[in-house]
């Protein structure tokens, strides 16, 4: 292959017309593709990337939020548990206190009842003793009248009998069993 | 099994290509030099641009057809010669015949073989890009092999070429331009690998046209990013005014070497592969030995596969360098901003 052949063959020719057509074709292809292909395709790709980034960000945020919520829930549960325990404890204490109080009050009532009964008995006893004394005076007078056979001056004799009765020891009356 | 099949194909192809050699002895009598010249001539004719399209039918040579492509001459104001379409043999002759030149006042806008295949590539590109990766606007994820393939390439150009070389600020703005450059070159390269077609990118005028586009966009990007004053200031190289007579021509030369390198690289790469394939096959005819087909055809197939790879690589390299040049043009702005800040700092 000789050099003149290469030069004559024309593959190194630069045709101005072809440069022109290249420019025209390129500009047309560029305009059409930019309008109908690159624009929409790149916009879609951008949108997709934006959505993916957004989704990842949102997922991260939501996860953090969920973790925070979980922690809060756990803390709330622990609080509730502690409160319940406290409540139970307090209740028990209260119950104990109430029971003690009940017991004490019952005791007090019983004591009061006992006291009043005792008081009643003493009173009755006193009354009975007084009645008995009065009766014994009358009886003593009757007996004495019969014994002496004479009618005694009532007021003088009566004072005498009362003196006798007073001399009778009072301890016997208190030792009598309760009615 | 597959190996057998390949061997069979190679054998048939070798015989088919060798067949003309087994004709009458008259051709054999011709000198080796003359035969060699005719093979070289055939190859160079084949890779050159021409005003006609030759439809070659393998083996059945008599069905070969030659179509004369439309001619169009536009008279220029300085014209002296008449710009009438050529007729007869003059119209067909692609070299050796004096066609009216631009200097003579005729802009030759005739459709040539390479113009035709450039248009076919452009048509295919537009058709495919408008149908395949364009989809329902609500569907954010591509479905299917082809949509995914195109989207992967488009995003590769955007992320790895545009944004990496130009930067995030301006990268997205020049992505459509780089995408067009990449796919236009890729489609022309790939189309040239099909039988009965021609490689438009193996033509200096086409690669020059593309490089001019890159040159214009680079200057535009630089002016837009830096402002016209900073752009002019950059051409002086930022040196003392006394050195301007040296610096300005150097800088201007620098502006033009970049597109020149783009032009020649793409042209030479696309042309070289085709010539190598032709020569490997032509060896059979030069050495007049059909058995050589067993060697040249597999080798040619290897080169063909390499060409397939080169088609992608050259589209990538052209686009990558374009992005790099645009990035350098845009960087003029930052350069001057930094200078400005420095001057400001010194003032204090």
Cβ–Cβ contacts within 10 Å for residue B312, how many? 15
Cα–Cα distance for residue pair B115/B101, rounded to 1 Å: 18
Listed residue (B125, B152, B158, B162) closest to B321, CA to CA = B162
Alpha carbon of A21: minimum distance to chain B alpha carbons (Å): 7
Residue B65 in any domain: the answer is no
Tell which B residues from 24 to 43 touch A, by Cβ distance under 8 Å: 36-37, 40-41
Answer for the pair B221, B230: CB distance below 8 angstroms, yes or no.
no
Structural domain contains residue A128: yes
Q: Which residues of B touch A10 (CB under 8 A)?
A: 44, 48-50, 94-95
Based on the structure, what is the number of domains in chain B? 2
Q: What does DSSP say about strands B106-108 and B52-55: parallel, antiparallel, or unpaired?
A: unpaired
Q: A29–B102: do the CB atoms touch at under 8 Å? A: no
CB-based contact, A53 to chain B, within 8 Å: no
Considering the domain boundaries, does residue A7 fall inside one? no
Is residue B197 one of the residues assigned to a domain? Answer: yes
Q: Which residues contact B99 (CB under 8 A, 6 or more apart)?
A: B86, B108
Domain for residue A8, yes or no?
no
Cβ distance B122 to A44 less than 8 Å, yes or no, reads no
Among A18, A26, A37, select the one facing B134 at the smallest CB separation.
A37
- B19/B42 same-domain check: yes
**Predicted model pTM:** 0.72
| One domain for residues B75 and B124 | no
Q: What is the mean pLDDT of residues A117-145?
A: 88
Q: Which residue from B54, B57, B75, B58 is spatially nearest to B66, judged by alpha carbons?
A: B54
Contact list, B50 vs chain A (CB under 8 Å): 10
Does B113 lie at the interface with A, CB-CB under 8 angstroms?
no
What domain count does chain A have? 1
Whole-angstrom distance, CA of residue B193 vs CA of residue B191: 5
Say which residues have a Cβ less than 8 Å from residue B264's Cβ, sequence separation at least 6: B204, B207
Are both B43 and B155 inside the same structural domain? yes
**Closest partner residue to B110 among A14, A17, A32, by Cβ?**
A17
**Domain residue limits at B106:** 71-110
- Say whether B206 and A14 touch across the interface (CB within 8 A): no
- Residue B68 CA: distances (Å) to CA of B42, B71, B125: 19, 9, 25
Helices (H) and strands (E) in chain A, counts: 5, 0
Angle between helices B244-287 and B293-347 (to 10 degrees): 170
Say whether both B172 and B302 belong to one domain. yes
- Residue B64 lies inside a defined structural domain of this protein: no
Rounded Cα gap, residues B246 and B64, in angstroms: 58
Dihedral sign (CA B227, B231, B232, B238)? positive
Residue contacts between A and B (CB atoms, under 8 Å):
148
Tokens 């055939």: give the residue.
B42
Say which of B44, B49, B202 has its CB closest to residue A5: B44
Whether residue A5 lies inside any domain: the answer is no
8 A C-beta contact, residue A157 and residue A141: yes
Question: pLDDT tens track of chain B, all 348 residues?
Answer: 456 555 555 555 554 554 444 333 334 444 445 555 688 888 888 888 888 888 888 888 888 888 888 888 887 777 666 677 776 656 665 455 566 777 777 788 888 899 999 999 999 999 999 888 766 666 777 878 888 899 899 999 999 999 999 988 888 899 999 999 999 999 999 999 998 899 999 999 999 999 999 999 999 998 988 888 888 888 887 777 888 888 888 888 988 999 999 999 999 999 999 999 999 999 888 888 888 889 999 999 999 999 999 999 999 999 999 999 999 888 876 665 555 444 443 433
Q: Would you tell me which residues 4-23 of chain B have a C-beta closer than 8 angstroms to some C-beta of chain A?
A: none
Say if A83 falls within a structural domain.
yes
Torsion of CA B194, B200, B204, B208, to 10 degrees: -140
Q: Say if B37 falls within a structural domain.
A: yes
Residues of A in contact with B40 (CB under 8 A): 1, 5
Sign of the CA dihedral with B135 first, then B140, B143, and B146 last: positive
DSSP class of residue B345?
Answer: H
- Residue A50 included in any domain: yes
Q: Closest approach of chain B CAs to the CA of A7, in angstroms?
A: 10
Q: Tell whether A3 is covered by a domain.
A: no
């Amino acid at each position: 292959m000789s050099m003149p052949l290469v030069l004559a063959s024309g593959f190194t020719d630069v045709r101005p017309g072809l440069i022109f057509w290249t420019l025209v074709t390129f500009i047309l292809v560029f305009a059409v593709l930019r309008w109908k292909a690159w624009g929409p395709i790149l916009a879609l790709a951008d949108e997709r990337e934006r959505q993916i980034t957004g989704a990842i960000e949102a997922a991260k945020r939501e996860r953090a939020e969920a973790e925070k919520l979980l922690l809060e829930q756990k803390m709330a549960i622990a609080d509730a548990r502690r409160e319940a325990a406290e409540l139970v404890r307090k209740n028990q204490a209260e119950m104990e206190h109430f029971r003690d109080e009940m017991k004490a009050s019952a005791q007090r009532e019983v004591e009061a009842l006992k006291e009043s009964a005792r008081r009643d008995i003493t009173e009755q006893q006193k009354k009975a003793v007084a009645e008995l004394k009065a009766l014994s005076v009358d009886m003593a007078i009757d007996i004495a009248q019969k014994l002496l056979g004479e009618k005694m001056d009532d007021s003088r004799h009566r004072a005498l009998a009362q003196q006798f009765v007073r001399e009778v020891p009072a301890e016997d009356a208190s030792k009598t069993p309760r009615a | 099994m597959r190996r057998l099949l390949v061997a069979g194909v190679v054998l048939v192809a070798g015989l088919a290509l060798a067949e003309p050699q087994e004709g009458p002895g008259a051709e054999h009598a011709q000198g080796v030099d003359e035969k060699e010249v005719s093979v070289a001539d055939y190859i160079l004719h084949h890779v050159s641009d021409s005003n006609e399209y030759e439809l070659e039918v393998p083996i059945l040579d008599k069905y070969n057809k030659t179509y004369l492509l439309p001619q169009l001459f536009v008279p220029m104001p300085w014209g002296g010669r008449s710009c009438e379409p050529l007729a007869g043999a003059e119209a067909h002759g692609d070299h050796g015949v004096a066609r009216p030149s631009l200097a003579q006042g005729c802009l030759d806008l005739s459709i040539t073989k390479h113009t035709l295949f450039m248009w076919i590539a452009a048509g295919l590109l537009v058709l495919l890009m408008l149908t395949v990766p364009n989809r329902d606007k609500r569907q954010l994820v591509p479905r299917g092999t082809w949509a995914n393939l195109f989207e992967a390439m488009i995003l590769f150009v955007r992320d790895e070429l545009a944004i990496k070389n130009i930067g995030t600020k301006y990268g997205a703005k020049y992505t459509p331009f780089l995408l067009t450059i990449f796919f236009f070159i890729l489609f022309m390269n790939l189309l040239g690998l099909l039988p009965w077609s021609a490689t438009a990118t193996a033509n200096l005028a086409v690669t020059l046209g593309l490089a001019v586009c890159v040159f214009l966009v680079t200057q535009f990007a630089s002016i837009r990013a830096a402002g016209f004053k900073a752009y002019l200031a950059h051409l002086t190289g930022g040196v003392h005014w006394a050195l301007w007579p040296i610096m300005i021509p150097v800088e201007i030369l620098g502006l033009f070497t970049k597109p020149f390198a783009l032009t020649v690289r793409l042209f030479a790469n696309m042309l070289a592969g085709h010539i190598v394939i032709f020569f490997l096959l032509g060896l059979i005819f030069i050495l007049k030995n059909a058995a050589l087909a067993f060697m040249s055809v597999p080798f040619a197939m290897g080169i063909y596969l390499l060409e397939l790879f080169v088609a992608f690589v050259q589209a990538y390299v052209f686009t990558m360098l374009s992005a790099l040049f645009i990035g350098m043009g845009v960087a003029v702005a930052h350069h001057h901003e930094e200078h400005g800040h420095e001057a400001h700092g010194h003032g204090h």
